[in-house]
Amino acid sequence: MSTRAVDSRLRDWAYLSGVAEAPCAPLSAFVAEVGPEQAARALRERTLPPALDGPTQSRRHRDTVRADLDLLAVLGGRLVTPDDEEWPSWRWLAFSTATATGVRDAVAPLALWVLGTAPVEELTRRAVAMVGTRAASGYGEHVTAELTHDLVAEGWTIVSGAAYGIDGAAHRAALAAGGRTVAVLACGVDRAYPAGHAPLLREIAREGLVLSEYPPGTTPAKHRFLARNRLVAGLADGVVVVEAGWRSGARNTATWARHLGRPVLAVPGPVTALSSAGCHRMIRTGEAVLATSAAEVIEEAGRIGELAGPRQGELDLRPTDGLDRVSAQVLEAFPARGAVNERQLAQQSGLPLAQVRGALPLLEMAGLAEWTEQGWNRAR
């Protein structure tokens, strides 16, 4: 594709990213089916599936794409899409699986608005989410710092939500230890939320990544925090809840993690502290495994990091059950025997080369394709 075509396609992704409130399962399905250009055209021309009429009605004709992309450029950011090599395709395998088992809204983001220089896929390859209450105790902040320090020393990236309390302590400790950290926002990356964390967010963008599935200008809202939590869980190999009250947003992140097959760990504390009540509750009910050290976190998260998705058997699915349409199409393009290269697969499947390249690591992680010196093979 020409640069002009690439730019036009990127603008389509940007348009789609804001045309419905994310996550929007029918929109994601439509884009997966017809591709971003045709989906954007259909929406603009109102030749769209009936299911999309409602969700896109109010924003279909608002086109702030150019302004959004310009603002992002000024901030030094970029829009990362499934066309990009840094798109963490394999991270979304579990989203497809969760959707297949009936979890509403467990859809992958259409695109990510990103501040920071590191490639998203690379930075989140081995990642732990550290989350918890905004009303953290001194104990909670201390334990967050200790765990983060030790995880960073082992090369793990710390993912969190940039909130006050445990989130902030995790980001700060990762930065202090010279580690890598990713802040996932429930608003546009041009917004500093909470305002008191503006300097922290600037530092995270400089040293790690600040990202959001919402276009610039999007304000934080309750439902966006819940949607954001699924990305925090999805971009990590495991979620650690350091402190949580009896009713805590951290439990929502933990629930997402379970749906996505990620292990959930909770740190115990004094039974006299309300800030640990949610952690104790999750351990009691089996929603979380008790964790006291980074080694115990890695023991759980490491397994998933290697498997990249829910453990087989745990959901009792065949390996192909969780595949999105593109990956399934690439898989079908394989000959029964013998090796092929990416171009041959693109030709055979009729898919763009970038999509084939995105799907291959996913198929490899799922144990369906393997790379040899001769090229790509269908796994037996």
User: By the criterion CB under 8 A, which residues form the site for a second copy?
Assistant: 139, 142-143, 267-272, 276-277, 280, 283-284, 289-293, 296
Q: How far is the CB of 141 from a second copy (least distance, A)?
A: 12
Q: 290 pairs with which residues across the strands? A: 266
Which residue's CB is nearer to a second copy, number 58 or number 292? 292
Residue with tokens 């963490």: 88
103 vs 290, which CB is nearer to a second copy? 290
Q: How far is the CB of 139 from a second copy (least distance, A)?
A: 6
CB crowding 214-229: b at 16 or more within 10 Å, else e: bbbebebeeebbbbbb
Compute the least distance from the CB of residue 240 to a second copy, in Å: 12
Helix (H, G, I), strand (E, B) or coil at 183: strand
Backbone angles phi, psi at 150, to 5 degrees: -70, -35
Distance CA 12, CA 35 (A): 10
Indicate the residue among 187 and 267 with the shorter CB distance to a second copy.
267
Question: Which residue lies nearer to a second copy by CB, 250 or 283?
Answer: 283
Q: What is the C-alpha to C-alpha distance for residues 30 and 98, in angstroms, rounded to an integer? A: 18
Nearer to a second copy, 101 or 293 (CB): 293
Q: What stretches of 220-352 show up as alpha helix (H) in DSSP?
A: 222-234, 249-259, 277-285, 294-307, 325-332, 342-349
Residues 6 or more apart from 107 whose CB is under 8 A from it?
A: 23, 24, 25, 28, 95, 99
For residue 172, which amino acid is it? Answer: R
Among residues 203 and 296, whose Cβ is nearest to a second copy? 296
Q: Smallest distance, Å, CB 128 to a second copy?
A: 16
112-115 and 77-80 beta bridge pairing:
antiparallel
Note the residue count of the chain: 380
CB of 148 to a second copy, least distance (A): 14
d(CA 146, CA 157): 14
- Give residue 335's identity as a one-letter amino acid code: P
Comparing CB distances to a second copy, the nearer of 170 and 182 is 170
Beta carbon of residue 157, minimum distance to a second copy (angstroms, whole number)? 22
Minimal distance, residue 147 CB to a second copy, in Å: 9
